[in-house]
Amino acid sequence: MTGPLIQITPAGPSPQRRTALHRRVRLLVAATITYNVNEAVVAITAGTVASSTALIGFGLYSVIEVSSAAAVAWQFTGKDPQRRERAALRVIAVSFFALAVYVSVESIRALVGGAEAEHSGVGLILAALSLAIMPGLSYAQRRAGRELGSRSAVADSKQTLLCTYLSAVLLVGLAVNSLFGWSWADPVAALVIGSVVAVKEGREAWRGDACCALAPRRRRRRRVRMPAVVHPAATACGSART
The helix or strand, by DSSP H or E, that contains position 8, with its residue range, turns out to be strand 2-8
Residue 148 has a pLDDT of 86
Instruction: Note the pLDDT of residue 219.
Output: 47
Where b means 16+ CB within 10 Å and e means fewer, 46-72 reads: bbeebebbbbbbbbbbbbbbbbbbbbb
Instruction: Dump the DSSP string for 111-154.
Output: HHH---PPP-HHHHHHHHHHHHHHHHHHHHHHHHHHHHT-HHHH
N-to-C CA span, the chain: 21
Distance CA 50, CA 120 (A): 6
The pLDDT value given to residue 126: 92
- Residue 53 CA to residue 59 CA, distance in Å, equals 10
Contact of 210 with 155, CB cutoff 8 Å: yes
d(CA 219, CA 175): 48
Predicted confidence at residue 214, as pLDDT, reads 44
Low-confidence ranges of the chain (pLDDT < 70): 1-12, 114-117, 186, 189-190, 193-197, 208-242
pLDDT of amino acid 129: 93
What is the pTM assigned to this prediction? 0.68
Domains with residue ranges and CATH for the chain: 11-223 (1.20.1510)
pLDDT reported for residue 85:
83
CA separation for the pair 170, 46 (Å, rounded): 13
At residue 132, the pLDDT reads 93
Q: How far is CA 169 from CA 58, 163, 229, in A?
A: 10, 10, 69
